[in-house]
Amino acid sequence: MEDNVNHGTALNAPGRFFEVYCKCSLTTCEQRDPKGLYRRARKGEVQGFTGVSAPYGEPEDPEIVVETDEHSLEDCVSNVLGYLEKQGIDYAALPTPEIVASYNTCDRRKAALLHITC
């Protein structure tokens, strides 16, 4: 994950890259798992599954943390957009804003990397 953060920081001007940690309990991740990967990992069918048979390292210093198991999607998005406003970014005024959240597909508890370009 650190490589992704370093890559995102390097590609953007200072103040244009923000790491957003979408924090969620392992129990909630398992409940939300539509593909049953956590169940399979617990049975030993999937090796090296982050949070089950492989360690998970939380982001060291994300700009914002949204606790997705404690707050609604709307509240989480509102928190992120509020953070952007505090940083002086008028996301609504961008000519063609592109907001991309990338996730490590093996571990949805990892941080989303929020990348805004215009």
- Answer whether residue 38 is part of any domain: no
- Answer whether residue 34 is part of any domain: no
- Answer whether residue 16 is part of any domain: yes
Domain count for the chain, please give it.
1
Q: Which tens digits make up the pLDDT trace of 42-65?
A: 999 999 998 899 988 889 899 999
Angle at 18 between CA 111 and CA 95, to 5 degrees: 120
Domain membership of residue 97 as a residue range: 2-25+59-117
- Answer whether residue 65 is part of any domain: yes
CB 84 within 8 A of CB 15: no
- Answer whether residue 112 is part of any domain: yes
Q: What mean pLDDT is predicted for residues 69-87?
A: 88
Q: How far apart are CA 77 and CA 88, in angstroms?
A: 17
